[in-house]
Amino acid sequence: GAVVSQHPSRVICKSGTSVKIECRSLDFQATTMFWYRQFPKQSLMLMATSNEGSKATYEQGVEKDKFLINHASLTLSTLTVTSAHPEDSSFYICSARDIQGLNTEAFFGQGTRLTVV
Amino acid sequence: AQTVTQSQPEMSVQEAETVTLSCTYDTSESDYYLFWYKQPPSRQMILVIRQEAYKQQNATENRFSVNFQKAAKSFSLKISDSQLGDAAMYFCAYRSATNDMRFGAGTRLTVKP
């Protein structure tokens, strides 16, 4: 199957700083990427839909100024957690779909465990 | 908005036995896709099986099969000949024509040797 690479896999940052998470589709082009957040022992909650060349679409309750999403190319989307606080600590997962649309599934990155201290 | 419900927070099965995980969903759309994903302790999401809503035939992937009841909006996963490596969290997911995917709360499957 297609490969989505997410980096870093783990990051610890100080409260008040910003951290960037990258999501790359390695062997296909993705016009749309998705960002999810997963709390321990809970499901994946969609945060936003990232569209190449345009603004991201955020789910209700997600602060767009805190979670900045940039989708500058067909293979890269970034999520920046700005002015991070301990409550932002979570597991963040991205997914992407092939631009050709031949596959109906979404391919997931390995996830990023963010800890804000 | 579409919702996905998994009513079994935890399930347990004996190795080599069969187990069925339940999933129901709510939608007003006619064109959509359904998925079962497995999430082991590594937390990598692994696609187990997928079903297109327009297909009446139930999808099958080796030991994994689904019972898709479109009218009842039900999409259960059957795991046959359960193996120790099947132990994981299982998420049912719905993908609409607009491409965003929604997940159920998950079912933690334990496989007993």
The verdict on A92 touching B (C-beta cutoff 8 Å) is no
Position B46 pLDDT exceeds 60: yes
Position A99 pLDDT exceeds 80: no
Most confident of A47-56, B7-16, B89-98: B7-16
The pair of three-digit structure tokens given for residue A58, joined into one six-digit string: 């955020």
Contacts of B95 in chain A (CB under 8 A): 104, 106
The whole-number pLDDT of residue A1 equals 66
Position A72 pLDDT exceeds 90: no
Reduced to 3 states, what is the DSSP secondary structure of residue A87?
Answer: helix
What is the average pLDDT score of chain A? 91
Nearest to A105 among B35, B100, B102 (CB): B35
A97 CA: distance to closest CA in chain B (Å): 9
The whole-number pLDDT of residue A104 equals 65
Which distant-in-sequence residues (6+ apart) come within 8 Å of B47 by Cβ? A1, A105, B35, B36, B37, B38
